[in-house]
């Protein structure tokens, strides 16, 4: 085996440089780093609800998730519209978790967590405790969403149903440590 030491390798014609042949393995040496391969998983953000939010019985309500943990490209509005509007087109992994609370054991019947894209429901998940209603209900939803990088936006909504017909509370950070959250990141293609 020979050692080639140089600072730059470029193709002699065209724009394609091939390292190895079909079936070969190309390995970086111990401690070596690589740059310029793959892509970045940004824009990306994650935020949580800092205090409780009341929602009306059986009414789909936007959840005002207002405290950013991180926001790589300033694409999440955590104070006005509570929406993610990425500035780079692509596929995004979107996720959210809500926890509803009625204050009464046996009263919290179901919770639905919705992902809305551009003001319309895109996907939801439902936790239904029909035969055994509780006091607390968590509900997680995730989806891969194609975004255009200019006008597309994502929001999180919740719908809950209490046996007694009263409203429920989506728990904020005061009662469950960052248990109500919303995040997204660009998928490397």
Kindly list the distances between the CA atom of residue 189 and the CA atoms of 25, 33, 36, 37, 146, in Å, as whole numbers in the listed order. 22, 21, 14, 12, 12
Burial (CB < 10 A; 0-12, 13-18, 19+), residue 67, is middle
Burial (CB < 10 A; 0-12, 13-18, 19+), residue 16, is exposed
Greatest mean pLDDT among 57-61, 108-112, 183-187 lies in 183-187
**pLDDT at position 62:** 97
Q: Which residue ranges form the domains of the chain, and what is each CATH number?
A: 44-186 (2.60.120.40)
Each residue's pLDDT tens digit, 139-186: 999 999 999 999 999 999 999 887 777 777 777 875 455 689 999 999
Residue 95 and residue 182: Cα distance in Å, rounded? Answer: 6
Mean pLDDT of the region 33-47: 82
The two structure tokens encoding residue 98: 């809500």
List residues bridging with 119 in a β-sheet.
none
**pLDDT at position 1:** 67
The DSSP secondary structure of 26-85, one letter per residue, reads --PPTT----SSS----SEEEEE--S-EEE-TT--EE----EEEEETTS-EESSSS-EE-
**pLDDT at position 176:** 53
**pLDDT at position 45:** 98
Check: CB of residue 101 under 8 Å from CB of residue 171: yes
Is the pTM higher than 0.85? The answer reads: no
């Amino acid at each position: 085996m020979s050692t080639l030491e140089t600072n730059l390798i470029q193709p002699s014609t065209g724009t394609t440089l091939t390292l190895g042949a079909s079936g070969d393995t190309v390995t970086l040496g111990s401690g070596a780093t690589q740059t310029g391969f793959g892509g970045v998983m940004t824009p990306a953000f994650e935020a949580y609800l800092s205090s409780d939010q009341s929602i009306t019985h059986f009414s789909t309500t936007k959840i005002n998730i207002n405290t950013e943990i991180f926001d790589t490209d300033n694409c999440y509005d955590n104070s006005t519209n509570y929406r993610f509007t990425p500035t780079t087109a692509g596929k995004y992994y979107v996720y959210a978790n809500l926890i509803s609370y009625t204050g009464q054991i046996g009263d919290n019947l179901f919770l639905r967590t919705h992902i809305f894209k551009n003001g319309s429901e895109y996907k939801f998940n439902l936790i239904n405790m029909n035969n055994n209603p509780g006091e607390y209900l968590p509900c997680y939803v995730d989806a891969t969403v194609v975004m255009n990088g200019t006008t597309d936006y994502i929001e999180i909504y919740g719908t809950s149903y209490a046996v007694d017909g009263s409203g429920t509370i989506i728990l904020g950070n005061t009662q469950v440590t960052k248990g109500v959250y919303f995040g997204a990141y660009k998928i490397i293609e």
